[in-house]
Structure 1
Amino acid sequence: MPLIKVLSNIRNIYKVNLLTSKKYLTNNWFTVSTVVITGLNRPNDLKHLMTMMDEDIESMTDLPTYEKKLQFKAKIISKQRDTIFKGQIAYGIPKAINALGTLYDLTPIEVRDILPTSPIRPTQIWQKMIEQRRRGRELFDKIYHPNPDKVMNELNLLYPDLHQLCYDYGYGYILSEPSVISDKETSLILLTGCLSQQVIPQLNGHIRGALHNGVSHEELEQVYDATLSLFEHYQIPPPERPITPNV
């Protein structure tokens, strides 16, 4: 099946309303698709996703002018960039670089010109870094409730630098930033990334974490269905469908 058809089916799974921009940014069809395509290291296929989203925007009746369409495209690209950036926790920096490079090339110049040019995660001010780490601790505790200290102690036992990396950099600097992507969406990115990499122990942890962050069982099923559709397209043996726990 052509990828454009697979993506169209995923969009149907998520019941996207193509007539309005309302709720489009919070509909996770393109977030999940972006994570899986990046995680499987098929960055060039982001062009098909971009084409579909451009067509979606053109059909939205509440974006009547070129300027409104341009601003909305910039919001989508901003969300895709941070999706790929946060997803590196699951699939690694090299794949994130590949996808971000492709996304940059696919972004029209007029959209690039209105995207932020400064980091949304400043490190020049120590107080900002303290705030990042505080948010990171809160996110970590929520995801791994009721045993966050046990998980962190296990990481420290494996290698103290891993403990520090996860706490300060992974959760503090990368994952806890809420300005573009919410904690709930962050959990969806993590579990989708783990599913695409077939790292089952981490996936099981992030399924629970997603439920703690307000993800519904229906939304989990949507992630599984979308991910498996892309695995089938790429002719990759699908991961075993995980059992969703009651939390």
Structure 2
Amino acid sequence: MNQILNAQRLIQLSQFHPKLKNIWYLVAAATFSVCNEPQEIPKLYHYAMLLSNDNAHMYRFTLASQTIDLLRSELPMRKTLINENYQQPTFFQKQLTAKFREVILKIGPLAGLPRAINGLTMLKETTPDILVPHLDPIDPWEAAMGNSSPLSETSMRRKHDKTIQERDHTIQNGLRHWNSIYNKVSTRVVNNLNSSYPDLWYYTLVHVYGPLFAFDEILSAQETSLVIIASLVPQDVNPQLRGHLKGALNIGCDKETVEAVRGLAILISQWCGVSWKSGVVKL
């Protein structure tokens, strides 16, 4: 499998821009996922985890090399070393793990479910056992007969809408989030999607914005907005990227941060061999 990140590039990403100090790894994870390079996600994850320790910034060069060496080791030894390193994960490391999962989940409707599956699988394989949820197996055959649940509801971060009222609440949250992003052009964009195919707008609202993009218990609305920008940059979809660049400002991100996210996503896309037909739109 192609390897793109080395120690020097990890350091380059972590120091790309001061505004991205606490989000560079999420922006990078989204971009690599969309570029179909999920093997790079564990490097970002473990480097960010190591940098979260006290005084880690003084040893960022050493930690970058340690990250590469750790993930280069053979599988049984690698898993043992990972578990030894995180016997007592900090609150921040638990939070960081949840954020990585959420980022990769949210790229699903933007870049395709297979890429989200591959990214989350790669992350799971290199996540410390103590940070992997322990779940009862799901039997899809029994669930299809109504004899058991098809969901691990007690471990899901989202609530499963069981009533019409709960579903309507989720949809309203999605609409509020949509309006915050698109602001003055919200009505025009909604009706453009709806007139293209009513089911397109239904899918966008009910299955993407409501339960996914508007969900802010793990990523903030601003973090989600920046991750979406990073996901759109490699795809050569300037009309959508333009809307989300402006939308990030509408939802509270400052211009310098938005431009830095765009720049970081372009750099990573270039490392992945992405080319664009007519450049990448900017603010």
- Give me the TM-score of the superposition, normalised by structure 1: 0.85
Change (3 A) 1:121 1:95: farther
The whole-number CA distance in structure 2 between the counterparts of 1:121 and 1:129 is 10
1:240 aligned partner: 279
The whole-number CA distance in structure 2 between the counterparts of 1:46 and 1:66 is 18
- Cα distance per residue 1:153-211 (max 9 Å; x no partner): 11111111001011111111111111111111111111111112121110011111111
Displacement of 1:132 after TM fit? 1.2
106-115 vs 182-191, which moves further: 106-115
Displacement of 1:113 after TM fit? 4.3
Displacement of 1:122 after TM fit? 2.0
Larger radius of gyration: 2
Q: Which runs of 4+ in 1 moved over 6 A?
A: none
Displacement of 1:59 after TM fit? 4.2
- Give me the TM-score of the superposition, normalised by structure 2: 0.75
2:62 aligned partner: none
2:264 aligned partner: 226
Alignment of 1:53-202 (within 5 A): 53-60=48-55, 69-113=89-133, 117-202=155-240
Displacement of 1:241 after TM fit? 3.6
Displacement of 1:151 after TM fit? 0.9
The whole-number CA distance in structure 1 between the counterparts of 2:169 and 2:32 is 32
230-239 vs 92-101, which moves further: 230-239
**Residue identity in the other structure for 2:262:** Y
201-210 vs 1-10, which moves further: 1-10
2:26 aligned partner: 31
Task: Please tell me whether the aligned partners of residues 190 and 201 of structure 2 are also in contact (alpha carbons under 8 angstroms).
Answer: yes
The whole-number CA distance in structure 2 between the counterparts of 1:8 and 1:2 is 13
- Identity fraction in percent: 24
**Residue identity in the other structure for 1:11:** S
**Residue identity in the other structure for 2:115:** K
- Cα distance per residue 1:110-145 (max 9 Å; x no partner): 111489822424222433322211110011111111
**Residue identity in the other structure for 1:96:** A
1:210 aligned partner: 248
1:7 aligned partner: 10
CA RMSD of superposed structures (Å): 2.6
Q: For 2:275, what is the secondary structure of its paired residue?
A: coil
Task: Please tell me whether the aligned partners of residues 6 and 230 of structure 1 are also in contact (alpha carbons under 8 angstroms).
Answer: no
Task: Please tell me whether the aligned partners of residues 46 and 102 of structure 1 are also in contact (alpha carbons under 8 angstroms).
Answer: yes
Task: Please tell me whether the aligned partners of residues 238 and 280 of structure 2 are also in contact (alpha carbons under 8 angstroms).
Answer: no
Task: Please tell me whether the aligned partners of residues 74 and 112 of structure 1 are also in contact (alpha carbons under 8 angstroms).
Answer: no
